[in-house]
Amino acid sequence: MSDYSFPYKDAAFLINDVLDFDQMCLDAGKEDVNAEFAAAVLEEAGRLGSEVLAPLNSIGDELGAKLEEDGVHETPGFADAYRQYVDMGWASLSGDEEYGGQAMPRLLAAAVVEIWDTANLAFSLCPLLTTGAIESIVAHGSDELKNTYLPNMISGEWAGSMCLTESAAGSDLAAVACKAVPEGDHYLITGQKIFITWGDHQMTENIIHLVLARLPDAPAGVRGISLFLVPKFLLDENGQPGKRNDAYCVGIEHKLGIHASPTCTLNFGDNDGAVGYLVGEPHNGLMAMFTMMNEARQGVGIQSLGVSERSYQQALAYAKERLQGTRSDGSRYPIIEFPDVRRMLMVMKAATEAMRGLIYIAAAEGDRESAAKTPEEKHRSATRTGLYTPIVKGWITELSQEITYLGTQVHGGMGYIEETGSAQYYRDARVLTIYEGTTGIQGLDLAGRKILGDNGEALQGLLDEIQATAQDLSGVDNLSAMAATLKQAVESGGQARAWLLENAKQDRNVAGAASVNLMMLLGFLCGGWVMGSIGT
């Protein structure tokens, strides 16, 4: 079953009524962008999503990608779909205007990305990684690198990949062993990267790999890692893909889900050395990569929302059709009439709406940061985005496991059978808590950098805001019960904050042991806040 429709009404309500998109656009000096325009954009994206990308979802799952003599070949139909995606201008939606992008607000871009993710998670990974690579080059690349690579990456003509992981360096990037040796105006990269998403394919003329490697004089640990731009094809004198660079895919993984997204082992420099160009300062590659990871972490949150929405829509449709109850007159009725099935569907619906709300709020904070008029405003928004990022990545990806599990459960035995598609969502979702930093790493980021790092100040600001929403809710008819629960939850959040600040001083294991539970607590608290904000 490939039918799905984007929840336009829910998205529009959040974008316009909760987040006041028109005002946001005016504040950002984008007078030509408004709610009406956003609705038209979403409708058009929804068409490509439901008519082109969604029908390829189960085909991609069944056929996957294949490694052949001349490299990785994506699932048949994907290249054509990608061409349409590029030709319609979707790739450049949020790109920098200076390099040909349309510079649309992050909030609108997040809603559009949700459509790709809901339609076809494996496909959407390719643009996700390209966007992350673009952000990194924009933030850290030299003018020459920007002018040479960004226009084609932003237009989608060239894709990007993110090459961090090695067999001995997963969560612990301090162990990165790939090497980079200076040679004239470039570097020669050698070593192997594993698990590289869309590390090779035929959908674009070139692939721009961003690779972490060590210079010969690099200090040990994370402070000795540099970032390099390594194109699949070196550019000729006209700036077009020419000679093949020495970076090849030597294997693709067989895996639980997202079969259409090739997960590649890439060998750099087996022959003459792969030509690479330094991005940012030497030994400062991890900082540059963090720009990409933060973007990608929020992106994985959107993926979790997308697959949850799809799982919910399919479960709802099935529950309306599947007859399992028999009335006294012998007529049969559908399973949606059973309270427990409705419980599962309502959990799915409520959780998905809360996920969407938090993701859009986080995206809007990014817009606020860009439009900030003073350094203080900018700092405040950047800090808040920093706080949201591990919650969006950690809590939402974990929640998507439960939602896709319930989607399968609603189908009963048919959920376990591949034909319905429900099992695919469950399998596809499983990686979301693993890549772009596992849940454990998100918990550490939240407890360590984002809470202990500023003595809990940013978190206190968020708790105060949630408390104010709870206060507003208590004055709304029929919502006082929700207000009381939210107040209680803010109190728990405050206690958890105080406990962490107090106990982490005595024992550094404390933060590590409690961090994931704390992240989940704050995630549910934010989810309740979002639902409450919608209520007011």
From 169-177, 326-334, 386-394, 471-479, span contacting ligand FAD (CB under 6 A): 169-177
Q: How far is the CB of 173 from ligand FAD (least distance, A)?
A: 9
For the CB of residue 464, give the shortest distance to ligand FAD in the complex, in Å.
30
| 163 counts as binding ligand FAD under rule CB under 6 A | yes
Q: Which of 164, 247, 249, 348 lies at the binding interface for ligand FAD (CB under 6 A)?
A: 164
Residue with tokens 């427990």: 340
Residue 434 sits in the site that holds ligand FAD (CB under 6 A): yes
Query: Applying CB under 6 A, which part among 140-148, 160-168, 244-252, 341-349 lies near ligand FAD?
Result: 160-168
196: exposed, middle or buried (C-beta count within 10 Å: 0-12, 13-18, 19+)?
A: buried
Within 8 A by CB and 6+ apart from 505, the residues are: none
| Per-residue CA distances from 456 to 384, 496, 510 (Å) | 12, 11, 15
Decide: helix, strand or coil at residue 206. Answer: strand
Pick 153 or 489: Cβ nearer ligand FAD: 153
* Binding test (CB under 6 A) with ligand FAD, winner from 15, 107, 133, 162: 162
- Using the rule CB under 6 A, give the single segment among 50-58, 110-118, 193-201, 473-481 that binds ligand FAD: 193-201
Enter the tokens of residue 43: 């409708």
CB atoms within 10 A of CB 213: 30
Cβ-proximal residue to ligand FAD, closest one: 170
Min separation Cβ 241 and ligand FAD, Å: 21
Check: CB of residue 362 under 8 Å from CB of residue 385. yes
CA 71, CA 406: separation in Å to the nearest integer? 38
CB of 131 to ligand FAD, least distance (A): 13
| Token pair belonging to 448 | 């360590």
Task: Judge whether 208 and 158 are in contact, CB under 8 Å.
Answer: yes
Considering just the CA atoms, what is the radius of gyration of the chain in Å? 23
In the set 334, 440, 456, 535, which binds ligand FAD (CB under 6 A)?
A: 440
H-assigned helices in 411-479? 413-416, 422-429, 439-444, 457-473
Q: How many residues bind ligand FAD (CB under 6 A)?
A: 20
Structure-token match 């998670």, residue found: 121
Please state, in angstroms and rounded to a whole number, the distance separating the CA atoms of residues 315 and 411. Answer: 7
Least separation in angstroms between residue 437's CB and ligand FAD is 6
Q: For this structure, is 436 an active site residue?
A: yes
Distance in Å, CB of 261 to ligand FAD, minimum: 7
**516 is a site residue for ligand FAD (CB under 6 A):** no
| Contacts with ligand FAD, 115-154, as mask; x by CB under 6 A | ----------------------------------------
Of 369, 419, 436, 457, catalytic = 436
- Rounded Cα–Cα distance for residues 2 and 11 (Å): 21
Local structure of 127: helix, strand or coil:
helix
Choose the binding region for ligand FAD from 21-29, 47-55, 116-124, 163-171 (rule: CB under 6 A): 163-171
Q: Which of 435, 469, 500, 525 binds ligand FAD (CB under 6 A)?
A: 435
- Report the distance separating Cα 190 and Cα 514, nearest Å: 39
Q: Least distance from C-beta 257 to ligand FAD, angstroms?
A: 8
C-alpha dihedral (531, 26, 103, 13), degrees to nearest 10: 30
Q: Could you give the C-alpha distances from 245 to 55, 132, 266, 275, in angstroms and in order? A: 35, 22, 12, 7
The SS3 of residue 88 is: coil
Structure tokens at 35: 């709610």
Closer to ligand FAD at the Cβ: 356 or 450?
Answer: 450
Question: What is the distance between the alpha carbons of residues 186 and 243, in angstroms, rounded to a whole number?
Answer: 15
Nearest Cα to 302, choosing from 521, 4, 6? Answer: 6
Instruction: Candidates 165-173, 228-236, 356-364, 418-426: pick the segment binding ligand FAD (CB under 6 A).
Output: 165-173
Buried/exposed 220-238: b ≥16 CB within 10 Å, e otherwise: eebebbbbbbbbbbbbeee
Closer CB to ligand FAD, 263 or 533, in the complex: 263
195 binds ligand FAD (CB under 6 A): yes
Q: Binding of ligand FAD at residue 431 (CB under 6 A)? A: yes
Least distance from C-beta 515 to ligand FAD, angstroms?
A: 8
Q: How far is the CB of 172 from ligand FAD (least distance, A)?
A: 6
Binding to ligand FAD by residue 444, rule CB under 6 A? yes
Q: According to the binding rule CB under 6 A, does residue 469 interact with ligand FAD?
A: no
304 makes contact with ligand FAD (CB under 6 A): no
Active centre residues (catalytic): 436
Residues that bind ligand FAD (CB under 6 A): 162-165, 170-172, 195-197, 255, 263, 431, 434-435, 437-438, 440-441, 444
